[in-house]
Every structure is written in structure tokens, then in C-alpha cells.
Structure 1
Amino acid sequence: MRIVVCVKYVPDATGDRKFADDLTVDREDVDGLLSELDEYAVEQALQIAEEADDAEVTVLTVGPEDARDALRKALSMGADKAVHVDDESIHGSDVMATSLVLAKAIEKTGYDLVIAGMASTDGTMGVLPAILAERLGVPQVTLLSEVKVEGGKVTGRRDGDTASEQLEASLPAVVSVTDQSGEARYPSFKGIMAAKKKPVEELELDDLDLDEDEVGLEGSWTAVDSADERPARTAGTIVKDEGEGGKQLAEYLASQKFI
């Protein structure tokens, strides 16, 4: 069974994130890492592979050269190989253009099951798995907190606020998993060393039969028109309780439309 896990290299949430001059996310001046939510997808892929008789886990990312760090993390966790789509023309791609690149790369790689995280920690849209399934023409089973593969089907449980659903789809399929699917494993020293010898295939747009105008800012369906820096934090309002502190607090909350 061929399992492809889509992973993303994202800016560190603890860093000073901002837009670049072209109103795309500045990825040059901030450290990046494998999206935490994608670690759960890698973990579920590894667990499925461990239960299967013959399975191979490929991690796939689209991004600049530094995105290899995300692939190395996934490989050190236990994935077998990686595919890195790196082309300057992809810069500025929105979810629609990115999903097109991913779909082409997945078709070229070959797959039985595609696994993704529930969302990326930078864009947090959460729609890519569904769009990817549409482009591939296969079923989608999304937002799973439990996933299994057996008898040519993928099954899983989706937990909602008031109920849980049991879902299934025939393979090939696309699934996404939540952060409730199980804690991701830490790479061992042996895994980190082994990752250095695992193959990483490099692909460009020409390898995927894509033109420059299908991706990037030109090929995207959405764009950021303007952006302003977050205003500096102002001094808070201090309420001294001299017998009417509760009343003053209530009046302040009411003025801010919190109550």
C-alpha cells in the first residue's frame, strides 16, 4: 500500500510573523518547522503502515529549499522517502494553486491513501484535503480522530460537539486527521541518523506538466490586497476596588460589548 502524507513547512508561531513586500507571508526572516498538525498525519500513516503487510510512506511538501527541514523531521519519525516540489514560480500560491501542485505530484508518485493534517498552523483554512480529493477524483473522509485501513477501505471516527460519526470510503481516498488522533512520536537518534540516507526526490513544474501561469500569484484564485501591522499594545485600564470595583468592571465590559 502506498501512503502519501502531505506536510507543510510553516513559520514558527512563536516568531515575529509578518507579510513581505508582495503581501505574501514572510518566510525569510523567521524560523520555520514542520506544521505541528501535520505531525499527527505522519503518525497515523506510520501506524497504518505498521499494521499493513506491505506499505510505504512517502512525505510530500511544496515549498522553498528550507522546506526540506519539514521532510527531514517526517523522515526521522519513520517515513520511508520524501518528495519535494521546489520551484520559484510556486511562490505566492493560494490553497487552490497549491492543491493543483500537490495533486499532480501525488499522481506522479502513485498512491492508495493520502493523509493530511486538519489544517496548517499558518493559514488554518482546513479545506485543502477536500479540494485535493476533488482534484484527484477520489472520496474524502476528513477530520478523523481515529483512522484504520482494512479490506480495501479506510474507516474512521469523526467527533463533533454533540455526536460522533463512523465514516468509511473505498481506496484510493484522501483523509485528514485531527490533533485528537494520537500523540505524534518523537524522532529517535537512530531515526534521525537513518533519515539522512533516505531518498528525497526533487520536482519542478516541468516535471508535473504545469505552466507558471497556473500557480503562484498569477494562478491563485485569492490574493491579499492590503495589510496593516498590528497596533502596539496599549496600557490596560486599571480598576481600583474601593467598594464599586465590580460596578466599574461591569461598565467597562459593557462599553467593550463583551456583555
Structure 2
Amino acid sequence: MVAITRATLARQLSSSNTTRTTRTIVSSAIRKKYTKKKKRTVKQRTSSKKRTVKQRTSSSTTSPPLQQYNEVAGKSNIIDANEYDRYGNPTGREYDLGRDGAFMGFNILIGQFYSFDMQKPIDALKIKGFQVKHITTEDECITELASNLYQIAWIISSTQIRNSKFISALTAFHSAGGAIFLFADNTPYVCHVSEFLRTKFGITVEGNYYGGKTMTYKENGYLQAGNFGQHEIFTGITNLYEGITI
């Protein structure tokens, strides 16, 4: 019994040692394999970092933003243009104040309450990059002014204000930083403009005088009737028709 027990124990020990050896070999192989995977992972991460640095370097060398104004900005008397119109003003959009496409991201709301064809001005604004919303009622204008979508509002005045909330909506837009471009003709087509100016600044617009003349550029021309002086808004304009009425 003892002999059998010892023999059995010896076989068990031998079997146990073999199992341990096998486990050790397998464990060692697994550790080596895992270590190799870790090395590859580190290498991959290093490559990823290199790619990220390279991408960041590439993005930092982008071209500067487009300049908004043409080189002739502020010049009325342009003597070297290729061609001039019948009024003596240089032709070609390179003689405009703003560059083509330079105003992407700027939105203009046009509230036109006096009827005439606005398509050409709208097309010209779009060439410069502006997004334009054109509306013809005060109700629409009030809604759009409150939308926070526009940096600029054009208001083309008519003879009466139909919605009592219009002036307060326009005033709120202006007080929040919105720019306003006001258009008024002769009395009585001054209502929207005059009422806004009265509410905001305490001044009014009125008058109905015959014009029909052409104003001309002159240095310090603002000091004399019939002339205008140097200013960015007159870029590329030597002669300016004042309109039938003032």
C-alpha cells in the first residue's frame, strides 16, 4: 500500500511539474505577445501624434483672409482706368469700394416700403458676398429684425407706418448693435426714416425741393454747394446725380 501510494504520489508530482512547466511556458509566451502588442500600440500612438502635429502645421499655414476693400478705396478721381462711363466715372468692379466676394457671412435685411425695382442693387450686393433678404411689409420686417440673423438693415421709407411696433423693433435692432441704412425721398416719402430719427435722436427729415443736378468731386468739396469731398463711400465716383427731388 505504501509503495503504491509513493508511486502514485510520484506520478502526481511529475504530472503537476509538467503542468506547471507548461503553464509557465504558455504564460511566458502570452507575456511576450502582449509586450509586442504594447510596443506596436506605442508606435501607433507615436505615429498618430506625428500625423496630428503635421496636420496642425499644415493648417497654420493657410492663406490670409480676403481684404474687404479694393486698392482704390477712398479715391474718387481715378485717372488711369481702362474705361469710363458717360458720366465720367471709371467702369469695372475693381473701382468699387468693396472687393467681390469679400463680405461672405454678412447678412442684409432690406425693408422696402416704397415700390420700385430693387433687383439690380440686390444682385450687386450678392456679387460682393452679402446674403440678402428682401421684404416689402412691416410685419415681415419686425419678425426678421428680431431674428438676430442680420448685421445690417436697409429701410426704404414710404408715406405712412402701418404697424405701431415697427419703430420700436427698428430701435431695438439698432441698440443691439445692428447697422441701419436709411433711404428717404421727398416729403411725404420720409415717414419711416423721419420717425425713427425722431425717436432715436430727436431729429426729423422733411422737404421737397427740385434737384436734377449732378454733383462733382472736389477736394474739400463738402464746403461748397454742388460738390462732394473725399470719402470711402464715394470711391470710384467723380460725378453723382442728385436725383429729381431732394
| TM-score, normalised by the number of residues in structure 1 | 0.24
Greater Rg, structure 1 or structure 2? 2
Bigger strand fraction: 1
Larger RCO (CA within 8 A; separation ≥ 6): 1
| TM-score, normalised by the number of residues in structure 2 | 0.25
Bigger helix fraction: 2
